[in-house]
Amino acid sequence: LSALQPKRDLSGKHFIITAGPTVEPIDPVRFLSNHSSGRQGYAIAEALISRGAKVTLVSGPVALPPPAGADLVSVKTAVEMLGAVQNALPADGFISVAAVADWRPSSSSDTKLKLKGENAPAMIELTENPDILKTISHLSDERPELVIGFAAETNDMETHAQGKLARKGCDWIIANDVSGDVMGGLNNKVSLYSTTGVEHSDWADKASIAKWIVDRVADKLT
């Protein structure tokens, strides 16, 4: 029977995972966000916990129950997400699965904006959000040993993934093709890019993809 139990080979290791979308308020009833369901990040958290790891799951708003045993930190905006990640350090691994909004409204109104009629078309001024993955990758003292980013691409996956690996300073980029129904969907197929090469998974449900990723994380850290 013990052969059926997952190995607890990641016990004593701490991982910080971001998951889901960020939500950037325009006013009390409107926001900028995206279609991320949080499923892939939650599945990775679950797979790590089943191998004995401690997991801090920093999550944007999603409609999923938190994985049993995860330390869940719920956030809304990218700025809050960065703060929560920094707060959860130190860690052995950081896995940046969240679909962080690249921009936020420069200011958000306390009252509902009236943007029709004379004020149309509405102009919303945007400010760039902090890049959480890049910030954590470049920490000097508390950089986790393994820093992993995700890349959601609709085209030229290899070029974009290699570009992000270089630009962000992370150790791996896990790329998925989101031209189909991956974002918000149940299945995924990923490619793991590192400075030493690339490896492709098969199409599978997000739990199997999580296990495929965590097998490689465990190989690297144990």
DSSP code string of 4-43: GSPP-TTTT-EEEEEESB--EEEETTEEE-----SHHHHH
Among positions 102, 153, 177, 199, the unique one binding Ca ion when judged by CB under 5 A: 102
- Compare residues 9 and 102 and give the one whose CB is closer to Ca ion: 102
Rg (CA), the chain: 18
Question: Is 34 an annotated catalytic residue?
Answer: yes
Q: Where does this chain touch Ca ion (CB under 5 A) — which range of 94-102, 110-118, 169-177, 183-191?
A: 94-102
Question: Does 134 count as an annotated binding residue?
Answer: no
Q: Is 48 left (phi over 0), alpha (psi -120 to 50) or beta?
A: alpha
Choice among 34, 129, 155, 188 that is catalytic: 34
Q: Which does 96 bind (CB under 5 to 8 A by kind): ligand CTP, Ca ion, none?
A: ligand CTP
Q: Report if residue 71 touches Ca ion, rule: CB under 5 A.
A: no
Q: Which does 44 bind (CB under 5 to 8 A by kind): Ca ion, ligand CTP, none?
A: none
Q: Return the beta strands (E) in the chain as ranges.
A: 14-19, 24-27, 30-32, 54-59, 71-74, 93-96, 103-105, 126-128, 146-153, 172-177, 187-188, 190-194, 197-200, 204-205
CA distance 24 to 31: 5
- Compare residues 75 and 133 and give the one whose CB is closer to ligand CTP: 133
CA distance 175 to 178: 9
- Compare residues 102 and 205 and give the one whose CB is closer to ligand CTP: 102
- Compare residues 10 and 148 and give the one whose CB is closer to ligand CTP: 148
Q: Smallest distance from the beta carbon of 204 to ligand CTP, in angstroms? A: 20
Please give the positions annotated as active site: 34
**Interface with Ca ion (CB under 5 A):** 102
Binding-site residues for CTP, in ranges, read 102, 112, 130-133, 150, 164, 168
